């Protein structure tokens, strides 16, 4: 798996659902020069673990916003699936009330470009290309700076959950470095 840290985040234009409205050409370009971005991937809409993480991002969204960080979610589901899930109440396993953009990567090109697409292509005996495995995204987080450079990435297998506060801590570490030019030791926490 290639490491994207230190490189420009792969560009994309894809449909996204924002406030129950579909934006057909969503891009991270809107944040360049203005905000840091936390782009996170999750495996699937209407699953059991994924909504817990989406809600954890939503609950910490005021803290990300206070730090000038945009949060963007992405899965290999369609924009229609995102919309249906966003209209489903939380009590029924839905994510109604999530306010940050959810990018629909139904073509799986964004996950592939960020190298977080589970499974792989293989050639069958007859020479045809087939996909082996489930073509969904791993759980991944990319912290992208204002210049569009990936500064941190974390990728986990689909059944492994993550702690969203760890992502917020990485934002604090990056912003402390940018502001003060100082390195932060292990387990450092910002004095807020």
22 alpha carbon, distance to own chain's centre: 18
Residues designated catalytic: 50
**Distance (Å, whole) CA 177 – CA 85:** 38
Q: Decide: 171 and 69 in contact? Cβ < 8 Å.
A: yes
Strand order across the beta sheet in which 139-144 lies: 21-26, 14-18, 102-104, 69-75, 36-41, 139-144, 150-156
Nearest to 135 by CA among 162, 158, 101, 102: 158
Q: Decide: 26 and 45 in contact? Cβ < 8 Å.
A: no
2's CB contacts (< 8 A; 6+ apart) are 115
């Amino acid at each position: 798996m290639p490491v994207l840290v230190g490189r420009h985040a792969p560009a994309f234009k894809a449909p996204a659902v924002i406030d129950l409205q579909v934006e057909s050409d969503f891009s991270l370009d809107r944040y360049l020069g203005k905000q840091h971005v936390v782009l996170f991937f999750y495996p699937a809409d209407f699953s059991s673990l994924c909504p817990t993480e989406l809600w954890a991002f939503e609950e910490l969204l005021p803290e990300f916003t206070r730090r000038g960080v945009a949060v963007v979610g992405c899965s290999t589901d369609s924009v229609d699936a995102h919309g249906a899930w966003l209209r489903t109440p939380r009590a029924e396993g839905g994510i109604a009330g999530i306010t940050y953009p959810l990018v629909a990567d139904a073509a799986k090109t964004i996950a592939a470009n960020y190298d977080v697409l589970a499974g792989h292509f293989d050639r069958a005996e007859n020479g045809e290309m087939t996909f082996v495995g489930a073509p969904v995204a791993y759980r991944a987080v990319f912290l992208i700076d204002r210049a569009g450079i990936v500064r941190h990435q974390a990728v986990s297998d689909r059944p492994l959950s993550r702690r969203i506060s760890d992502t917020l801590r990485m934002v604090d570490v990056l912003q402390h470095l940018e502001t003060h030019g100082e390195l932060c030791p292990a387990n450092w926490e910002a004095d807020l």
